[in-house]
């Protein structure tokens, strides 16, 4: 069924008897009364850019093609994304739809595109195709209860309605952590202001500004590694991006308390590059903050970046490692594996990168943080001496490398000299 045929069928339905009347809906800025109709699902199409599955759809389209809700194969893909987004919740909703029927109406356009209710519609279709369910039990699942919008609903109004009734009203917890950023970006691209987007999403304008800055940072991260448009690579990264955006914004402003004279362009750019690598590495969030945390009046050596001497050495050693690594391009991987699982292939690419750099980067971080901790404890000599004694006590002198490593003797002589120096100061 094509678009014109859908329009004609829906126009006929609107001439019939509604199943509900007097439903209030804000439409083009005005509170308007609508009726709800029972619509055969066979004449409706999914919205592949539903906020619930935005990351999956955009990532799929980066690898393959733009999803067509009129193509049976693409419909199956959209339905799989909708199911996989919340399988446990979908099982419960499916049971409810079968036993209690549809309790909440949806919204569709005049040409049959589902604006609100894609998940419920997909579950109704799932029930109807389930041959294990008796026909007389599932008759009602052939139909979708929905408002049919006037023919003048443009893309901007559709996006507004979709956002308002999904992310503003339909339990935000239903959506993945990345989806709100993608939705805010889509609305920005359509020309909506931060205030308008905030109204649609049920948040404050400052929250939208925050979402958009984080999305821009996420996009820059994806671009850095060739993952442009593959938003599934952002899973479990929301917290570090939030922390990084806040830190970068402070450092770029140049107004950070008790800070060395870093270059706002070059040094902050290097900080971002290093932070991106550690996000990709999957560093623990507590450790991640030790790289980027802004200093305070009472804690000047708050992070590696906050201490000039430590940062210079740390970043130099970091780039010496990562700059030597070469990777197969994302486009080449996709070209050679056109039907491969994109997420799995990209995860394998990340794993190969980690195998090359993880040991060196972790050692560099731990070594640099030890220096930072020593700086922080400089006014507490007892703690540092205990730490030094503990480290020396842990040396296994039976290992062949104790005598075989040429650097051991040099360090021993330095330790002896330093211990004598401290002893002389103590007794002087």
- Enumerate the domain spans of the chain: 3-170, 236-390, 395-428
Cα distances (angstroms) measured from residue 192 to each of 116, 185, 187, 205, 208 = 20, 10, 6, 12, 11
CA-based torsion, 261, 266, 269, 270: positive or negative: negative
Tokens at 322, concatenated: 């990562």
Q: Is 126 exposed, middle or buried (0-12, 13-18, 19+ CB in 10 A)?
A: middle
Q: Which of 306, 349, 355 is nearest to 327 (CA)?
A: 349
Phi–psi pair at 51, nearest 5 degrees: -60, -25
Task: Determine contact, residues 308/260, Cβ cutoff 8 Å.
Answer: yes
Q: What is the pLDDT of residue 155?
A: 80
Q: For the whole prediction, is pTM greater than 0.75?
A: yes
| Residue in 237, 245, 227, 321 with CA at minimum distance from that of residue 279 | 237
* Nearest residue to 103 via CA among 204, 19, 211, 229: 19
* Residue position matching structure tokens 């889509």: 186
End-to-end, the C-alpha distance of the chain in Å comes to 96
Structure tokens at 331: 């486009």
Task: Give the pLDDT of the chain (428 residues) as one tens digit per residue.
Answer: 888 999 999 999 999 999 999 999 888 888 999 999 999 999 999 988 877 788 899 999 999 999 999 999 999 999 999 999 889 989 999 999 999 999 999 999 999 999 989 999 999 999 999 999 999 999 999 999 999 999 878 888 888 888 887 765 444 445 678 889 999 998 999 889 999 999 888 889 999 999 999 999 999 999 999 999 999 999 999 999 999 999 999 999 877 777 889 999 999 999 999 999 999 999 999 999 999 999 887 778 889 999 999 999 999 999 999 999 999 999 999 999 998 999 999 999 999 999 999 999 999 999 999 999 888 665 456 656 666 777 788 888 888 888 878 788 888 888 888 888 877 777 76
Look at residue 170 in the predicted model and tell me its pLDDT. Answer: 45
Q: Which residue has the tokens 């010496």?
A: 320
Task: Give the tokens for residue 44.
Answer: 């409706």
**What pLDDT shows up at residue 382?**
63
Provide the 3-class DSSP secondary structure of residue 116: strand
pLDDT for the residue 299: 79
Quick check: 45 and 5 in contact, CB under 8 A?
Answer: no
What is the rounded distance in angstroms from the CA atom of residue 209 to the CA atom of residue 196? Answer: 12
Residue 151: per-residue pLDDT: 85
Give per-residue burial for 283-307: e unless 16+ CB within 10 Å, then b: beeeebbbbbbbbeeeeebbbbbbb
């Amino acid at each position: 069924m094509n678009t014109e045929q859908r329009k004609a069928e829906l126009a006929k339905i609107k001439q019939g008897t509604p199943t509900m009347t007097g439903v209030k809906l804000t439409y083009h800025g005005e509170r308007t009364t609508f009726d709800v109709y029972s619509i055969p699902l066979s004449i409706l199409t999914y919205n592949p850019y539903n906020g619930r599955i935005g990351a999956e759809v955009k990532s799929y389209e980066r690898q393959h093609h733009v999803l067509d809700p009129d193509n049976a194969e693409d419909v199956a893909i959209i339905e799989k994304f909708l199911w996989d987004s919340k399988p446990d919740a979908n099982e419960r909703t499916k049971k409810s739809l079968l036993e209690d029927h549809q309790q909440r109406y949806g919204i569709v356009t005049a040409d049959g595109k589902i604006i609100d209710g894609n998940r419920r519609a997909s579950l109704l279709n799932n029930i109807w195709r389930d041959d294990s369910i008796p026909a007389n039990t599932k008759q009602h699942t052939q139909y979708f209860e929905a408002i049919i919008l006037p023919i003048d609903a443009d893309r901007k109004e559709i996006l507004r309605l979709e956002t308002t009734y999904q992310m503003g009203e339909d339990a935000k917890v239903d959506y993945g952590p990345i989806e709100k950023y993608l939705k805010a970006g889509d609305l920005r691209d359509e020309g909506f202001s931060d205030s308008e987007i905030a109204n649609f999403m049920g948040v404050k304008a400052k929250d939208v500004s925050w979402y958009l800055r984080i999305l821009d940072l996420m996009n820059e991260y994806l671009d850095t590694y060739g993952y442009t448009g593959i938003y599934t690579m952002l899973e479990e990264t929301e917290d570090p991006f939030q922390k990084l955006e806040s830190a970068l914004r402070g450092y770029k402003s140049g107004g950070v308390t008790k800070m060395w004279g870093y270059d706002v362009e070059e040094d902050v750019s290097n900080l971002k590059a290093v932070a991106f690598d550690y996000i990709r590495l999957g560093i623990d969030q507590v450790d991640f903050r030790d790289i980027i945390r802004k200093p305070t009046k009472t804690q000047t050596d708050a992070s590696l970046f906050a201490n000039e001497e430590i940062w210079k050495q740390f970043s130099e050693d970091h780039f010496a490692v990562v700059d030597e690594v070469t990777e197969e391009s994302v486009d080449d991987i996709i070209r050679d594996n056109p039907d491969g699982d994109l997420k799995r292939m990209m995860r394998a690419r990340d794993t190969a990168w980690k195998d090359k750099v993880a040991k060196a980067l972790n050692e560099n971080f731990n070594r640099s943080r030890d220096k930072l901790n020593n700086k922080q404890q400089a006014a507490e000599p007892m703690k540092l001496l205990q730490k030094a004694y503990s480290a020396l006590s842990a040396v296994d002198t039976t290992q062949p490398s104790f005598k075989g490593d040429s650097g051991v003797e040099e360090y021993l002589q330095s330790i002896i000299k330093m211990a004598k120096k401290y002893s002389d100061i103590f007794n002087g």
